[in-house]
Copies of this chain bind each other. A is one copy, B any other.
């Protein structure tokens, strides 16, 4: 039996891997790099080329033959040619029959062609077993070994044995194959390397608009207003003072926007009396980019912290402080110590520091490698419990910062309230709604809905199902 089992071992290549031959069509950068890497990993490589005698810079251990000669040497043929030049393959249809063709191509734009390159290849050579792979790997990374970006190789194909063969090659090269299913997934795989942070787009634009609005709001109140009323040049405030108002407000607002969709979803479920109806698309999308919103908020919070810590270094602040001291010394005015001011001042600083600390913790746990080591209960504990605590601390920080000035009308300039008042709108809304939602009576209904209960009786049997099933 030992012997038969070794004869029928199909997944691993031949008994001594060194002699398995793989054919590469095309001698461009990627073909050469891949060939070199495969040679290093023990494969024999034969290149197929239009002009086998003209090809330069190929690894010296590799054979270079014409396309049809090369194709006959191996079961696996990697096509490192641009899609526009696939036509030559139609002449090789007979040779390629039954072979595994690996499509590694990428396009220049998302959805450039109606069908994916791999599907197009499968149409051109109907007898071949086409597998999509390697398109997310860069030639330079293969060559230098500096696979910093990603070791993941998405693989898809209709023939599972062919796919398995390719995945074995991927593994042998020290990369991680990820089976993406049938060739229908090729389009998505081909679009993947062309994406530029798709989930970050909405949070980024939102925060850009928010910052621009806040910046102009503050410029009006703190630069234009003093200039109009007192002819004072405060333009220098645009370098530090105003950013240090914009950043904390943006941070707090974005942090509140992370928790707002959860509150809206709960209200929707309560209103509908069931969880068995899809949320609107905008809410789904919003929920999916909460992590990105939170990380951008953390970025703003970080900037706010540093902009605040440099305050005593600034020329303007030192000049002000010195002048105040001199004025007080010369006028001999008393300046008694106010314990309540000290309390208020120290409290809002302390609340801010603790809020920032928890925020940084949240950011660290959202690192992929950290979140991979925690289970769901731990992840939810951190992201929900600690997240709300962060929001509460940061909102309290802003409230105490406002202190008594909060509702004083003297703070209005051209009927515009202080910027931090704006910062409080969304966070307070979220916190008040959340507080109402966790009142026992409402929380109980919500929990029942989430366990499958439905308010209108018609579908109660399906609800019953839902309660016994997971």
Contacts and interface: CB of A to CB of B under 8 A. Distances in A.
Nearest to A300: B357
A321 interface: yes
Contact of A29 (B40, B372, B466): B466
| Secondary structure type dominating chain A contacts | helix
A71 to B, nearest CB: 16
Contact of A136 (B54, B197, B375): B375
A54 B465 contact: yes
B312 A378 contact: no
B372 A150 contact: yes
A282 interface: no
Nearest to A241: B346
Nearest to A382: B197
A439 interface: no
Interface string A96-118: 00000000111000000000000
Interface in A427-470: 452, 459, 461-462, 465-466, 468-470
Contacts of A356: 306
A29 B302 CA distance: 39
A311 B383 CA distance: 31
A68 interface: no
A342 B316 contact: yes
A240 B28 CA distance: 54
B182 A42 contact: yes
Nearest to A33: B470
A316 B182 CA distance: 68
A375 to B, nearest CB: 5
B56 A462 contact: yes
Interface in A264-298: 276, 284, 287-288, 291
Contacts of A4: 7-8
Given A29-B466, A144-B288, A339 B149 contact: no
Contact of A314 (B178, B194, B345): B345
Interface string A120-149: 000000000000000011110100111011
Nearest to A351: B239
Contact of A80 (B350, B376, B469): B469
A228 interface: no
A5 interface: yes
| Most B C-beta atoms less than 10 A away, residue of A16, A161, A342 | A342
Interface string A137-174: 11101001110111110000011110110000001101
Contacts of A159: 15-16
Given A152-B372, A319-B335, A469-B80, A357 B302 contact: yes
Given A18-B182, A193-B376, A239-B349, 8 more contacts: A11-B164, A29-B452, A149-B372, A171-B179, A174-B178, A302-B360, A303-B353, A367-B369
Cβ-closest 8 pairs across A and B? A28-B469, A369-B369, A239-B346, A26-B469, A315-B345, A149-B379, A312-B312, A5-B10
11 contacts: A9-B164, A12-B163, A57-B276, A145-B288, A149-B379, A150-B376, A193-B376, A314-B345, A315-B342, A368-B372, A369-B370
